[in-house]
Amino acid sequence: MAFLLGSWDIDPDTRRIAGDGGEARVSPKAMGVLLALDAAWGGVVSRETLLDTVWPGVTVGEEVLTQAIAELRRAFRDDRRQPSAIETVHKRGYRLLLTRDPSAPTASEGALGPAHGPSVAVLPFRALGTDETALTMAEGLSRDISVSLARTRWLFVSALASSAALAAAGSGPIQAAARLGVRYVLDGTVIVHGRRFRLSASLCDATDGGTVWAEIFERPLDDLFEIIDSVAAAVAMAVETEIVLSERRRAMLHPIESLDAWGAFHRGTALAAASDAGRLEEAEALLLRAVSLAPDAARILAATSALYFRRACLAIPATHRQDRAKAVEFAERAVASDARDPMALMARGMNHVVAGEVEAGRARYQDAIGLNRNFAHARYYLAYTSIYADDFSDGLQQMDFAHRLSPVDPMRFSFLAARGQLHSLHGEVAEGADLADRALQEPNANFWNHCVAAWCAERAGRRGTARRHAAALKSQRPDFKREDYFGIFQFSEANRRAVETAFDGIGL
């Protein structure tokens, strides 16, 4: 996203610095130093902060920073003795003398291009009081949440060091968002009192200054690492979910033809969990629009793959083969665009499993979780493959994790059905039947839920209930065949026999 510093045009993507006297391209590290100085909003940035920001986790000498500053001065044609761009502040660090053009677009004015997608900055959490434990936990939570959000790959997360520099200069959330070019800002305060820990966190939408989400997290002060780990995971998942919901609401306010790539993406994914043909066709049109506007966005490509995967499973319309082929095509395009995008890896895993390559699918789901441990849908799909692999304890563990991460997920109907199958095939038949019945009460439940509820009820000895579910299934899908079910659900031989025995009992 290009911006103006004084009379200079700065483009971080191409590392171009252009002015009346010409232009220059600088190294990635030099551009990183410039952005870190710019984020301080005219404040002095120490050499240590610049080294930590631009060379994180790497031991380097101060000469690399000196070289980067010299490179920037050459690009700005600046004199270090009489500087107009970058000032050396003796024994303190450096200060950027150039300021952004106030008429240039900010985050609240739509500065983010259509392919950049939603963006967030995590301001350093504040510790109330001087308790060392509170200070440690505030710093640890800020860093872990920032890292966790960055692992989503679809969400642009401003560097924590830049956020810290703005916070140190006294910038509020709205000012910080404008300087960092982000739409959302996460802020929080930490209190430690006796043996209790409390975090108050809030997510602000900088476009209107409104609070999108706020929550209080309290824990007994036992294991500090466990608290930081669990609270950071909960906050990151909540923030990701709330940004998605906020972006969907924003997209619903605009005509389809005016939506950018990410607006069309969010509006399309809101419809993609549906079970009726009309809404799925609308979702397809929106996601294909998003693809046309951002053809290399891995998350958009992966979501389009998932849509075709769902259409193929539902056979709506009767284009199963074509939808399966499109699901594979878009999954491969997503992985080719970004092989470390968790959603792209999940899309590839889904296609592996339906093709009968269960272990390959499990491996891709595990890769996705390795990149983003808070990815609820990857854990849900991994739980399904645990059914096929007869690994029931892992399946239940994954479903518990997915439910904690996303308790009101649009795919809750399928979350419950997966749990029902796990319990039923593990011998806990009554609990399995109850869960399968509950799944049918959820929005977007479909004929496959009646199928699962029918065989789970039969295994629980509830033949009357099982036959009612079977009748509902046949009413919705008169052409239902067992082969259709087992073509999607890749049970082991023993589990397939158990399900087929239940089908025999109710005449399916």
Does 380 lie in the same domain as 277? yes
Question: Is residue 449 in some structural domain?
Answer: yes
Residue 489 vs residues 264, 451, 464, 493: alpha-carbon distances, Å: 31, 12, 25, 12
Q: Are residues 52 and 177 in the same domain?
A: no
Q: Are residues 293 and 337 in the same domain?
A: yes
- Residue 396 shares a structural domain with residue 488: yes
For 334, other C-beta atoms within 10 Å of its C-beta total 28
pLDDT for residue 319 = 64
51 and 116 together in one domain: no
Are 234 and 193 part of one and the same domain? Answer: yes
pLDDT at 41: 64
Query: d(Cα 324, Cα 304) in Å, to the nearest integer?
Result: 12
Claim to verify: residue 237 and residue 285 sit in the same structural domain? no
Structure tokens at 371: 């990149």
Does one domain contain both 188 and 285? no
Give the Cα separation of 461 and 467 in Å (integer).
Answer: 11
The reply to whether 331 falls in a domain is: yes
Q: Tens-of-pLDDT digits for all 508 residues of the chain?
A: 577 888 888 887 678 899 876 789 998 889 889 988 887 767 788 888 888 778 866 778 889 999 999 999 999 999 988 999 999 998 889 989 987 654 444 333 333 343 356 889 899 999 987 788 888 899 899 989 988 888 777 787 877 777 777 777 677 787 778 777 788 999 999 999 888 999 999 999 887 778 889 999 999 988 888 889 889 988 998 898 888 888 877 777 777 777 888 888 888 988 888 888 888 999 999 999 999 988 988 889 999 999 999 998 887 555 678 899 999 999 999 999 988 889 999 999 999 988 889 899 999 999 999 888 888 899 999 998 988 877 888 898 999 888 887 877 888 999 999 999 999 999 999 999 999 999 999 988 999 999 999 999 999 999 999 999 999 999 999 988 888 888 888 888 889 999 999 999 999 8
Q: Where are the alpha helices (DSSP H) in 406-492?
A: 412-425, 429-439, 447-459, 463-476, 482-488
Whether residue 114 lies inside any domain: the answer is yes
Indicate whether 129 belongs to any domain: yes
Nearest to 499 by CA among 473, 466, 477: 466
101 within domain boundaries: no
* 278 shares its domain with 326: yes
Which of 96, 121, 156 terminates a domain? The answer is: 96
Residue for token pair 């911006």: 3
Quick check: helix, strand or coil at residue 151?
coil
The CATH number assigned to the domain holding 289 equals 1.25.40.10
First to last CA, the chain: 58
Question: Is there a single domain that holds both residue 381 and residue 305?
Answer: yes
Query: Are 196 and 225 members of one domain?
Result: yes
What is the domain-level CATH number for residue 159?
A: 3.40.50.10070
pLDDT of residue 114: 33
| Tally of domains within the chain | 3
Does residue 222 sit within a domain?
yes
- Written as one letter, the residue type at 331 is A
Instruction: Show the tokens assigned to 465.
Output: 């209930």
Q: Is 415 exposed, middle or buried (0-12, 13-18, 19+ CB in 10 A)?
A: buried
**What pLDDT, on the 0 to 100 scale, is given for residue 110?**
36
Q: How far apart are CA 251 and CA 266, in angstroms?
A: 7
Same domain, 405 and 487: yes
pLDDT at 344: 94
3-state secondary structure of 379: helix
Final residue belonging to a domain, choices 77, 96, 115 = 96
CA distance 49 to 44: 10
In a domain, 102, yes or no: no
Is the pTM higher than 0.95? no
pLDDT score at 61:
85
Q: What is the CATH number of the domain that holds 64?
A: 1.10.10.10
Instruction: Show the tokens assigned to 215.
Output: 């929550």
- Residues of 97-129 as b/e, b for ≥16 C-beta within 10 angstroms? bbebeeeeebbbeebbebebbbbbbbbbbbbee
Report helix, strand and coil shares of the chain as percent, to nearest 5.
Answer: 60, 15, 30
With left for phi above 0 and alpha for psi between -120 and 50, is residue 119 left, alpha or beta?
beta
Residue 56 to residue 70: CA distance in whole angstroms = 20
Residue 166's contacts (CB-CB under 8 Å, 6 or more residues apart) are 39, 40, 41, 123, 175, 176, 179, 180
Q: If you write DSSP's letter for every residue of 213-248 in order, what string do you get?
A: EEEEEEEESS-HHHHHHHHHHHHHHHHHHHHHHHHH
Host domain of residue 291 = 256-506
